[in-house]
Amino acid sequence: MPVNIEIKARCPDPAGAAKILSGLNAEHKGTDHQVDTYFKVDEGRLKLREGNIENNLIFYKRSDHAGPKRSDVILYPCSNDPGLKNILEETLGILVVVDKLRDIHFIDNVKFHIDQVEGLGSFIEIEAIGEEGEEFGLNRQCNHYMDALNIGEEQLISISYSDLLLEIEG
């Protein structure tokens, strides 16, 4: 099973972050308008991502703490099929919807997202992607790119966009 070590942080200067990634020869995959619909589940998180570049049903589990953390992900590629969303909505119920504009970059096995999230602001995510047993190296990659992107501890976010939106909705 693939393993992600990831961080999420506030990004006060999205253009500056994109410029740093460009200077690191990151491959820019494009900008995607994504709507993530989170469904009510007993454990982990289940979301349907609808975008122009990425369309997936995603189940994941991870701890909520700031800094690099392991995320166990099951990803199911799917099309923008309203039938799937309707089934999930009817059987599980919608928890929250996250609407974002995502700028996607890659350096080798590391994925970078510069996100503008409706109602929340600007963020950056780093996801070092590997296999079981590679966590040490993935953590090192994540920390390396945090330094390269000047991400300080005070910028780190411990929870998902869905949780941040739920906190606002009260």
Which tens digits make up the pLDDT trace of 108-141? Answer: 999 999 999 999 999 999 999 999 899 999 999 9
Single-letter amino acid, residue 9: A
Buried b (16+ CB within 10 A) or exposed e, 53-66: ebbbbbbbebeeee
Task: Give 32's pLDDT tier (boundaries 50, 70, 90).
Answer: very high
DSSP letter at 26? P
Task: Give 80's pLDDT tier (boundaries 50, 70, 90).
Answer: confident
Residue pair 124/113 in contact (Cβ under 8 Å)? The answer is yes
Q: How many whole angstroms separate alpha carbon 98 and alpha carbon 37? A: 6
Phi/psi at 29 (nearest 5 deg)?
A: -85, -15
Q: What is the pLDDT of residue 65?
A: 80
pTM > 0.85: yes or no: yes
Domain of residue 82 covers: 2-169
Which CATH number fits the domain that encloses residue 105?
A: 2.40.320.10
Instruction: Report in angstroms the alpha-carbon separations of 111 from 10, 79, 107, 152, 156.
Output: 17, 22, 7, 19, 17
Domains in the chain, number: 1
